[in-house]
Amino acid sequence: MRKFECIDDNMLIGGVRAIDLAEEYGTPVYVTDEDAVRENYRAIYGAFSRRMPTRINYACKANANLAILRILEQEGSCIDAVSIGEVEACLRAGFSPERILYTGVNVSNHELAQLVNRNITINIDSLSQLERLAEITSGARISFRMNPEVGAGHHEKVVTGARSTKFGVPRDRIMDAYERAIELDFQPIGLHVHIGAGVQVVEPFAKATDVLVSVAQELESKLGLQLEFIDIGGGIGIPYRPDDSPMDLELLAEEVTSRIKNGTSASKVVLEPGRYIIADTTVLLTTVVDLKETPDRWFAGVDAGFNTLVRPAFYGSYHHVAVANKFGRPGEVTYDVVGPICESGDHLAKDRLLPRLEEGDLLAVYDAGAYGSTMSSQYNMRPKCREVLVRRGSSNLIRERETIDDLLRHDRIPSRLML
């Protein structure tokens, strides 16, 4: 969990007081520190690239704001995209097609054709997808996503590598997939797995790499196929709680790369961090608008709900909360932090010991950069909020707040209903 500076009881984000950001841009608002994004990218790239040639495919489903994508393009990152919309956003942010690897699931023929037209390398998820792609194009460089039957993650809904999940070519069919790809005149260049999200220990990644190495050896011995890359996917977690330990990047990099170098002829390791790069760079600022004492507890009502940050309601996820204008003061009262959505599950945090709150206080919800804005919605007809980028004392708006007109722009009332 990232530490923030404090001056006169005020939280600073990227050298800017949180209360000044709230006053200028309103709340709720997502605030991202540009230097933190660059620092995180360099840390993970450095750990792996010191050991073997490395390609970082940023998992842009975590946060696809164009400014964030542009920062990572400048850093030399590549992209893991899962929709044609993400592909288009990355192209507009300056990524060339060869720096994008598309890994979709249950992909339509229409989307496959759009990817082919944009010269995007496709990570094939099923034998059906392979056959349907062959009706659109041939000779393309492709990879395969395999289900390694190794699953892990912070919640059952984000485990993707277990045998029972919908993702990837089954382990016992992967040789058939490569053989068929060669028959169809494709060029298989890689092998990919993704075990899940928010994994905080090295062991599941090591197990998945062992599976990858075993399959790569089989491909070489039986088909004479030498892969260009082995892709271990993403899913590296971060410490959301103050007492959580961070992933040991050096150990992870050593365990993964040593297996690939010693067991395969692949020249490159690929990994797809999203959360690790972006989660702790961003704070959600939200204003206390209502305080309510009930026989059971105190509620701190704020202007951000699960329409703004859905992870606590969806996954039961923990996000640290601080009072940005009373930063560092000791806790006095235990609150549930709740939003304006008409649902009992609209909690951002439960049972948090905070300084005594007043209406107008500013709360900071930590580690909101991954799956915050990208999973936000307009439920209860509430427009999506602004996003701001800070760097060394200055700030820039990187996403405008939606308006009610934006919400209604695409609705149509048939003329017969107007009579």
Q: What gap in Å lies between CA 372 and CA 300, rounded to an integer?
A: 20
Per-residue model confidence (pLDDT) at position 162: 59
Contacts of 25 (CB under 8 A, 6+ apart): 386, 388, 395, 397
Extract long-range pairs of 155-158: CB within 8 Å, 24+ residues apart: 155/198, 155/315, 155/316, 155/317, 157/314, 157/315, 158/196, 158/197, 158/198, 158/315
Three-state DSSP state, 250: helix
Per-residue model confidence (pLDDT) at position 265: 94
Label residues 366-396 b or e (16+ Cβ within 10 Å = b): bbbbbbbbbbbeeeeebebbbbbbbbeeebe
Per-residue model confidence (pLDDT) at position 339: 98
Q: Which of 60, 78, 342, 385 is catalytic?
A: 342
Q: What is the pLDDT of residues 25-41, one digit of tens each?
A: 999 999 999 999 999 99
In contact, 271 and 308? CB cutoff 8 Å: no
Domain 64-273 grouped into CATH 3.20.20.10: yes
Q: What gap in Å lies between CA 190 and CA 212, rounded to an integer?
A: 10
Parts of the chain with a pLDDT under 50: none
Residue 385: active-site member: no
Domain range summary for the chain, segments of one domain joined by +: 5-32+279-408, 64-273
Count CB-CB contacts under 10 A for residue 413.
7
For tokens 């260009």, name the residue.
228
Query: What is the fold, at CATH topology level, of the domain defined by 5-32+279-408?
Result: Lyase, Ornithine Decarboxylase; Chain A, domain 1 (2.40.37)
